[in-house]
Amino acid sequence: MKAVVKYTIFEKPQPIRAIKRLERDVLRMGALVEQSFRLSHQALFNRDLTAAEQIRRLDKKIDRFYRQIEVDCASIMSSQAPTDQESRCLSSFMQLVRDLERIGDYAKDLAEIAMKIFPYPPHPTLGEVAIMSDHAQSMLATSLVALADLDEINGRRIKLLDDTVDDAYKKLYRNLAQQKDVPGVVEPILLLTLAIQCLERMADHATNIGQRVAYIVTGQR
């Protein structure tokens, strides 16, 4: 009797191998983005300018992954006649790496903010901003685990985690905007306002990644 080969996610062996390689590349890119986010946190809250300098090198690697993954996805879609489910996965990867690339860009922005704010004494709200950063990093980590496991439930759960970051953003923005009788220059306040905007956007992109994972699994947006 002829052996029956089962494929649990995709139907044809050739695109499966290519997509699996792509998935590994996306996760490698995700690991670099996570590292860049951690370094930006270290730079801003531990006043570690060495960490800030490392992000520039990481950003170049992230951009290379981004460009290559987009090219590879387009090549598979045009040359290997993927099934509908495989096409859904490939299109999601193309969108997902854009989210990762943007998080990497925001990490680089945070590193630049860290360098500009370094000469000033730590602002009283810095601890709250650090907590906001921790939450956003946790969201990114959760989204990447959801991708690695193709876990729809965890992917959708990130949307709920985003509420914590949004609430922190609103509170911090209000506090920074309403400060009165600020002695000296206002640059530290402006820089922290930019920092929380970066963190809020990073959390949004992490949410997008989780939603795209759910779409890969279910086909429902």
> pLDDT tens-digit profile of 111-130?
999 999 999 999 999 999 99
The whole-number pLDDT of residue 131 equals: 97
Assess whether pLDDT exceeds 60 at residue 9: no
Token pair in block for residue 196: 């929380």
- CA-nearest of 73, 67, 99 to 86 is 73
Assess whether pLDDT exceeds 80 at residue 15: no
Least confident of 7-21, 108-122, 151-165: 7-21
- Using DSSP, state whether 178 is helix, strand or coil: coil
Token pair in block for residue 111: 């590193």
Q: Report the C-alpha gap between 203 and 37 in whole angstroms.
A: 11
> pLDDT tens-digit profile of 41-86?
999 999 999 999 999 999 999 999 999 999 999 998 888 778 888 8
The whole-number pLDDT of residue 182 equals: 65
Ordered structural domains, the chain, with CATH:
15-218 (1.20.58.220)
pTM of the model: 0.90
